[in-house]
Structure formats: structure tokens, C-alpha cells
Homo-oligomer: A and B are copies of this chain.
Amino acid sequence: VFWTFLAAGQPAGDRLVIGGADGHHLARVLRVRPGERGVAVATGREYDLEVLEVRAAEVVCQVTGDRPAGGEPALAITLLQATLPNPDFDAVLEAGTAMGIHRFIPVRAERSVARPAASRIQRWQAIIKSAAEQSHRGALPLVLEPLPLGAALEQVAGSPLLVLDPSARAPLERTDASRVAVAIGPEGGWTPGELAAMRGHGGVPVSLGPRILRARLAPIVAAAILVR
């Protein structure tokens, strides 16, 4: 069963032609064949498909049913993630997408060793799209270009803000809110200045417990605890 995201709008009628990069991917990389089944996700809905015809870089499908998209969490999690050296940052995007993260904001933290260029966002979007297809998400997560911490905090103004800090006494726990931002530092952690800046934005320091987690593991654990 293939899984694909429609760029915009709903299929009109009971036929759907998937072209562009997605059509090429289905026809040439996944090599779908007539009779094969899949799902296309458009804004908020999932459409069951059966492949009728495969052309050079286009797949013609019959729409056989539809329903509300089922892959999205009730809680919209924004991850303010300090940039990490690869393969760790890419792994966070891939696993975080499967975990249901709504939006990724890469943060140029003071102790971030990796300094990805803004152009890196294209590769990040490709990783997220592929992971969203594999995990059967109901919408594509967003990713922003890397931002300084101050600008990242402005993006989540109005959301409850949880700040991962191993020295915090309070454990990270589920929240009843409808959206939440979680800030996770690089391998060396947030600096005292960064922690103070986040407290100034209402950030609540929380810990994932007494064991030390690698930076690439912390966002997965945080998302696993929070997502609902």
C-alpha cells in the first residue's frame, strides 16, 4: 500500500492523476502497477486509491473511498531542536515525523557544533516527506530554516513552552493543552544564558529522568511521552 500527499485541494470526482515529482516517484522508484492500492492524503482527508494506469511519470488512479485523515495527533507539538551534527539531526526529523511532531524549528544554539546553511531546508523537507509517507501521517510536518533562539521563541509565542534541562526537578509529563512547544538543546545542553532567555519567555524546565540521553534520543522520548 503506497501513501502519498496531494499538493493542494481535494480530488475532483472519482479519478485522480498523480503527476510531478510524486508521480515520478510512484511510477519510477516505487514502480507501482495497475491494480495496486494506496492512499492519497489531501487537507484533512484520506482517499483510497486503486492504480488504473502507469505512464512515464504519472499515475492514474480510481478513488474507491475516503474518510477523515487518521494519522494526526490531537496535540500539536512544535519541536525547537538545536542543530546537531549529522546523521543525528536527520534522524531526529525522520523519527520525529513518525512520532507525530507538527512543526520542527531548527535552532542555532550556542553549543551547537553543526551550523547547517539555510539551504539545508530542502533536504530536511525531503526527509520529512519520505518519513510522513512511511509512517502514514495525515499531514506533512513543517520545518523552518535554522533560526537563532530568540527568533525561534517568537515563532511559538502563545504556546506553553517546555525546556528540556537534565537538572530540572519536574519530569516531562503529558499535558491537556492542544499545542505545546518543546525546546531540546545540543549534545552539550543549553547554556545558562539560553535557559534564562527561555524562562523569560515562560519556559518551564523539565527533565527526562536521571539517566543521560544522547541528544538525538531526547526528542523521540519527549514526543513519545507527550503525543496524544
Interface on A for B, CB 8 Å cutoff?
70-71, 73, 95, 98-100, 134-137, 209-214, 217, 220-221, 224-225, 227
Q: Please determine whether A100 and B209 come into contact, CB atoms closer than 8 angstroms.
A: yes
Q: Report the minimal beta-carbon distance from A166 to chain B, rounded to whole angstroms.
A: 10
Query: Which listed residue (B71, B137, B224) contacts A221, Cβ 8 A?
Result: B224
- For the complex with contacts A98-B212, A99-B213, A134-B214, 12 further pairs of A-B residues with Cβ separation under 8 Å are A95-B214, A95-B217, A98-B217, A134-B212, A135-B211, A135-B212, A136-B210, A137-B211, A209-B227, A220-B221, A220-B224, A224-B225
A-B residue pairs in contact (CB < 8 Å), sample of 14: A71-B210, A73-B209, A95-B214, A98-B212, A98-B217, A99-B211, A99-B221, A100-B209, A135-B212, A136-B210, A136-B211, A137-B211, A220-B224, A224-B224
Q: Report the minimal beta-carbon distance from A128 to chain B, rounded to whole angstroms.
A: 13
A217 to B221 alpha-carbon distance, docked (Å): 10
The interface residues of chain B lying within 8 Å CB-to-CB of A70 are 210
Q: Report the minimal beta-carbon distance from A172 to chain B, rounded to whole angstroms.
A: 10
A214 nearest CB neighbor, chain B only: B98
Given A220-B220, A224-B225, A225-B225, A213-B135 contact (CB < 8 Å): yes
